[in-house]
Each structure stands twice: as C-alpha cells, then as structure tokens.
Structure 1
C-alpha cells in the first residue's frame, strides 16, 4: 500500500510539473473570433498559439494589455493601444488600421501583406495607395483572384508593384497577361527540378497584337493569328501563322494549332498532329514515332515499348534513357533497385543514364 501511494504521488507530481512548465494555454479570449488567442494558464497574460496546438505549432507570449485585448480575427488582435498579429505588436497606425472583407490590410499610410521576410511582422507593399487599393478583377476565378490588385497608378502581383496600366491590365492565364498596349510574361519559377526557385515576376515582353484574344489553356494564348507562351528558357515565345482555323489544348504544356504541335513554346512540325497522343508525362507518340519530350526515340518498337519511369523506357531490343539508347543495358533484366535513382540489369548498374559504380 505504501509503495502504491508513493508511485501515485510521483505520477501526480510529474503531471503537475508538466502542467506547470509546458501547459501555458488557458481559456480562449474569444472563441467566436479566434481559436488561437488564449489567456495564459499561470500568468496574467495573452498567448498566441495557432488553433491551440502549442505542442506542434508553438505559442507566443504577447505583451498585449490583458484587460482590453480582443481578437480581430484568427491571427489579428488589438488592445487599447496596439494592433497585434500572431501575438506580436505591429508598427501600424492604430486608429485607421483595418482588414476588409477581401483581407486587404491597411491603415491611412500603407497597405500591408503577410508574406514578408519576418514571419510575424507585417510588410509594407511598396508605393501602394491605401485609398484606392483594390482587387484588380473580382471575376478572376479561384485563389488567383487574390494574387492581383491595383490602385490608381499601379498593378500589383503577389504584393509586388509591376508594369502595366491598371485600367486595362488583365491576366489571361497562368503565364500571359495583357493591357491596352503590351503583352506580359508571368514568370513563376526559374530553373528546373531541385534548382527551380520562385520569382513571381511579371515582365513586359511585346507590343499588343491586333486580333481576337482566346486563351487556349493555362499556358498559351491566341491573339489574332499569333500564339504566345511564356514558360520556355527565353521566357516568352510568339508564333505567328498566316491564318489559324483552330487551336486546341492537349495538356498544360502542349497545344495543336491547326495541324502543328507546339510543346513548351517550341514548334514541332515533324510530329503528326492528327495522330499525336500523350502516353505518360513526357512520353508521347504519333503514327510514325515514339517521343520523349517531343524528341524522337529513334528505333523504338511500337509493339513492345514500355514506359518504366519518368525518364526510362524499353522495348524488346533496347533500354532508353529519355530519347537515347542506354548502351549496355539488357531490357529483359532491367529494373530499379533500392538505391535512389539507380537501375540494374543483373550485370551493370545505371544512374542518370550512365553506368554507375557504387
């Protein structure tokens, strides 16, 4: 019995210790407005903890005035003197600070955004006029609507001021925008694969073209008898035809203009557009050839061709890496290994299309 009481007392002390040192969240300040602002469990203070999940998402002990503090929404709050975001005091004009229904954050001096260098400090949108700052176009669908804003003088994309006439500027898809005078390339990333970095730039590329405007898909736009795109290495391509009867999307990267295939902004006249078919990602075929990234896999056999991965394929005679024969590889035994990116055929190992020696 004595042992049981001692063990029970130790368990209770451990629990109280954990409660004392780790459980710092008390009751919500106003659960109807926010489930992230709480009274401190042990102190007379305010704690910010996203969704109350202090263990995984952490918490911040704010220096807000406890008596007057109230949440504004999930992450914003105020007391009688200051505005707080994520529990931290912000350098804004208290009396004119507001967040409207579109989540535009502003005061009499500035417009602010949430994606600054410091995760818990509002950042000023350079040159934005708080009196006239608004959505560029409320009719833009889905999340992209909130990427585009304007004021009386400028257009803004993802909180950056860009070139463009705010009265006539219009994004047409993921890569092309226009105004009354120019065509613009929307550049989201530069580089490929693990080297890709987000840049979010909108660049004036070409004088506006006469003709009816028709977005073909999310990456191509037909303007009159020209097709424009902006995701190639040159970051802008324009192909002009004598006349365009039809333009149709194949996938995100490929379209067919009349009987001509365009893939990633490059024209491939040698591909038979009428019989062209995407097999899987970068693999495709027409009645004459099988292709990788629209480059012919020379000699590939239709009847036995098999796609093995994003870059490897085989037929009865050869293994292929992208569009080239992988020399020395036995197609009958070729398979992946437990090593990342490594393949083998029972005799040799291969990585990135080359012999590999581990």
Structure 2
C-alpha cells in the first residue's frame, strides 16, 4: 500500500510539473469577444494564442497592461495606452482607433490593412481617407465583400488604389468591373503556366458601351451588344455582335452567345456550341468531332476515343499527338513507359510526338 501512495504521489508531481512548466494559458480575458486572448497560467500578463491552441498555432506574450486590457475582436485588443494586433503593439492613434466589419481598420490619421511587409505590423493604405473609407458594397455576401473598398475619392481593390469613380464603380464578376465611363479588367494573375504571377490589379481597358449591363458568369459580362471578358493570357477581350438574342453559361471558361461558342474570349464559329463539351486537359468535343485546343482532330472516332495524357490520345485506329495523327504508332499497344515523358507501342518509343528509338 505504501508503494502505491509513493507511485501516486510521483504521478501527481509529474502532472503538476508538466502543467506548471508547459501549460501557459489560463482563463480567457473575454470569451464573448475573443477566444485568442488569455491571462497567462502563471505570470501576470496577457498572452495571444489563436483559439487557445498554442501548441499548434502559436503563442505570444503581450506587453499589454493586464488590469486595463480588453479584446476588441478576435485578434485586436486595447489597454489604457496602446492598441494590439495578435498581441503585438501597433503604431496607431489609441483614442480614435477602431475596427469596422473586421477589415475596415482606421484611426483619425490613416487606414490600415493586415497584409503588410513587416511581420505582425499593420500597414498604412497610402492615400486612403479615414473619414470616408468604407466597404464598396456592404451587400456583397461572399468573400469578395472585403476585396472592394472606397473613400470619397477613389476605389481600392485588395488595398490598392484604382483610378475609378467611387460613386458609380461596381464589379460585375471576378473578371470585369465598370463605372459610368469605363470598363475594367480584374486581374488576379498575369501570364499562364510556369510564367503565371500574382498581380491583383484592376486596369482600365475600354470606354463604357451603351446598353444593358449584366454578368453572364464569373468571367464574362454583357454590355449592350458586346461580350467582355478578362483572362490571364489576353487580359481583356471584347466581342461585338449585331445583336444579342441569347447568352448561356457553359462553364467558367466557355459561354454560348447566339449559338456561337466563346472560349477565353475567342469566338469559335466552326464548333457547334449547343453540343460542345469540355473534356480533360485541352480536349473537347461537339456533335461533329473531337478537338485539341479547339483544333479538330481529323478522323478521330469519338466512340472509341480515349484521352491518355495532356497531349496524347487514341481511338481504335490511331494515336494522336495533340491534334495530329502520330504516324506509325500502334493504337492497341500504345502506352506510357517507365521512363519520364516516354511512350511506347512495342516497336517504337516516342517523346513529344516524335519517334526517338525504333526496333525496326
């Protein structure tokens, strides 16, 4: 029995020791406002730990005055002298600092944003007027609500100033915006493939066109008898028709206007839009055939057509590299080899649509 009590005492001491030296978070300062600001378990100080999960999400001992500190929201707080963001003291005007709708952060002197170049330090939005700065459209219910802001003089996209009319400017979708005078392309990226870079720009592209304005989908918009779009490669495209009777979304990249297919801003009148279907990679089809990058694969039999990779396909008779027949390739035996980017059919090996070795 004596041994039992000794072991129990050791276990209790170990548990208390672990709690003393490892556990740092005590009671939350105000759980109704924030579940990330806590009193320290042992020390007389305020700590910041996201959702109290200090072990995985981090922990910071703040300089805040314990007696007067109160959280403003999840990440911001104030004491009698300073404002804190994620536990770090910020260089802002204490008495006039406020956070509106979480993303509108300002004091009497400046407007701030959270994505600054210095770690855990609010950054000033250059030129923004704190007296009039607000969300562009508070009625937007999705994530884009906080992308768009304005003051009495300018519009801002992801904290970057746009030379647009704040009274009439409005985004139509992810790609196009308008104001009373101009059409704008909204560019999150520039370039394609390995050359794609993030830019987050809104660029004035065309004078406003008269007529009805509405979004067709997230990348196309109709303005009068024109359809406009903005994609990473061309940045802005405008296609004008004598008249527009119908518009229909096919998918993110493709729409049908007057029974004509438009893909990434380019019209393809030779493709039957009503039966068009995007397949994997750059392959697609309509009732008349199969296409690679909107070039018809001549002679392809869709009933036996099979996509093998981003460039290769086959049917019962032929193997195709992009939109052309791979001459001499055996369709029934053609398959990927164990070597990188190499294909084979038992007689030949192929790379980039050409024979590189042959048994013949």
Q: Report the TM range for the smaller structure's normalisation.
A: 0.7 to 0.9
Asked if the contact 1:136–1:148 (Cα under 8 Å) also holds between the matched residues in 2, the reply is: yes
Q: TM-score, normalised by structure 1?
A: 0.88
Q: Distance in 1 between matches of 2:287 and 2:38?
A: 66
Q: Which residue of 2 aligns with 1:143?
A: 143
Change (3 A) 1:346 1:41: farther
Q: Conserved in 2, the CA contact under 8 Å of 1:263 and 1:294?
A: no
CA contact (8 A) 1:96 1:107 kept: yes
Displacement of 1:204 in angstroms is 0.5
- CA 1:27 to 1:324, structure 2 compared with 1: closer, same or farther past 3 Å? farther
CA distance in 2, matches of 1:134, 1:241: 38
- Does the C-alpha gap of structure 1 residues 263 and 83 become closer, same or farther in structure 2, counting only changes over 3 Å? same
Deviation at 1:246, TM superposition (A): 1.7
The residue number in structure 1 matching 2:87 is 87
Q: Deviations over 1:157-210 (max 9, x none)?
A: 111111211111111111111111111100011233454322110000111112
Identify the residue that residue 264 of structure 1 maps to in structure 2. Answer: 264
Partner-residue secondary structure (3-state), 2:143: helix
Q: Distance in 2 between matches of 1:356 and 1:42?
A: 71
Deviation track 1:208-252 (CA, whole Å, cap 9, x = no partner) reads 112221322111112122111111522111112222222221111
Structure 2 unpaired stretches of 5+: none
1:146 Cα deviation (Å)?
Answer: 1.8
Residue pairs, 1:1-358, within 5 angstroms: 15-16=15-16, 18-101=18-101, 103-280=103-280, 282-325=282-325, 330-334=330-334
The alignment covers a number of residue pairs equal to 357
SS across alignment from 1:23: coil
| 1:232–1:264 CA contact under 8 A, matched in 2 | no
> How far apart are residue 265 of structure 1 and its match?
1.0
Q: CA RMSD in A?
A: 3.1
Q: Tell me the distance in 2 between the aligned counterparts of 1:233 and 1:247.
A: 23
| Distance in 2 between residues matched to 1:299 and 1:231, nearest whole Å | 32
- Are the structure 2 counterparts of residues 321 and 163 from structure 1 closer, same or farther at C-alpha, using a change threshold of 3 Å? farther
Question: What secondary structure, in the 3-state scheme, does the structure 1 residue paired with 2:304 have?
Answer: coil
Q: Which moved more, 1:345-354 or 1:19-28?
A: 345-354
- DSSP-derived class of the 1:137 partner: coil
Distance (whole Å) between structure 1 residues aligned to residue 116 and residue 237 of structure 2: 32
Partner secondary structure for residue 275 of structure 2: coil
- What is the SS of the residue equivalent to 1:262? strand
Return 5+ residue gaps in structure 1 as ranges.
none
Q: What is the CA–CA distance in structure 2 between the aligned matches of 1:65 and 1:118, rounded to whole Å? A: 24
Is the CA contact (8 Å cut-off) linking 1:39 and 1:46 kept in structure 2? yes
**d(CA) in 1 for partners of 2:17 and 2:202?**
55
Question: How far apart, in 1, do the equivalents of 2:323 and 2:35 lie?
Answer: 54
- TM-score (norm. length: structure 2): 0.87
Distance change (3 Å), C-alpha of 1:338 and 1:10: farther
